[in-house]
Structure 1
Amino acid sequence: MPFLGRSHLLAPLVAIFAAADEVQELEEEVDEEIGEVIDEIERFLADDLEVSDALIDAIQQEEGKVLVVYRDITGLPTVGAGHLVRPEDNLRVGDRITEAQMREFLRNDLREAEDAVRKIAKATPLSQNEFDALVDLVYNVGPGNVSPTKSPRLNEALQKRDYKAAAEQLHYSKARDGRRAGGLVNRSERRRRIFEKGDYGDPREG
């Protein structure tokens, strides 16, 4: 019987490992394709989306529920869940509102924020959590600060459907007077987690 050495034993093993590598590559390709399909299914035009209850809860946690008009850190009259008092509200510092008024202010403010997100998103599809995070940004900084002039990088990222780049533009740490505010830093972190992971929890509680 001729001496075959170990090669006749190794050949089947090599074939098995090669087949295993091919299976793994196929699995990775399938996973990637499934991920792409899921992304397409989960994203919708902003015109078809409204804020979720989870975001409303998060905003109320961040802003609080204050029924007496007060001045915020920049001196502007504020009430409810972060509603900036307007002349048509007929309210002055120290005035009290009802919970029904607070909810109405919140609904109206959120509608404005939703409309602003729809304008900057245009035809770019968004998932519910991405939409929510953008609405939170507008609610926090105001529609004017997310315009193409004021936030060109955010608008460009959205038009290119570069979701990673868009997430990087959600950070906002300065109050209206230009001072850095710790609360806004934490809120920005929460906002980005909502956008990227759909995690609405408060990172300060972790």
Structure 2
Amino acid sequence: MTALPDWTRPPRAEGWFAEDLDRLPEAPRHTELIDGALVFVMSPQRSWNGRVVTALTTTLMTQAPEGFEVEREMTIRLDDRNRPEPGLLLTTLPYDPDRTFYPPDAVRLVVEVVSPESAHRDRTVKLRKYAEAGIPHYWCIEDESGSPVVHVYELDEPTRAYAPAGIFRGSLRRPVPFEIHLDLDKLTPPRSG
């Protein structure tokens, strides 16, 4: 077994903090901070996940009204010890080329595209953390025999928990956070063979 590089050791006994991510140029590109621990996405990304994120990003960009920005693979600073990186988010902050994260109060929708290595975090940990941070909408996209299935959640303000708002196959129509119409079958090409 090889020794871990020095940069992987937390800078203090309490572990990592959100601002530490901006000081780790050696870290893999998709490094998240969950409960003060660095989470490295080391497994190769499946083509299916990348296609879904790309197609959804471009589709939402064409539908987003003035005042909304679509970002992919940017972290959200939920608190001092949590900075997850969703596949995609909708924000009300204007574009800033030097931005490295978004505050949760400026995020209106978070989309996670589930992969085998992220399934537990996306379905449970992030679901709870995004809700506790007050993000109004959360979509969790699953691969169902090659077709995207979107599990949609809306924030219940009094409990700061998400309530299921539907499971969508084939097409998705939502009135929030703005009027969204998606042909889910067009997010990925059909499987060959």
Q: TM-score, normalised by structure 2?
A: 0.29
Quick check: which one's strand share is greater?
2
Quick check: which one's helix share is greater?
1
Asked which structure has the greater RCO (Cα within 8 Å, sep 6+), the reply is: 1
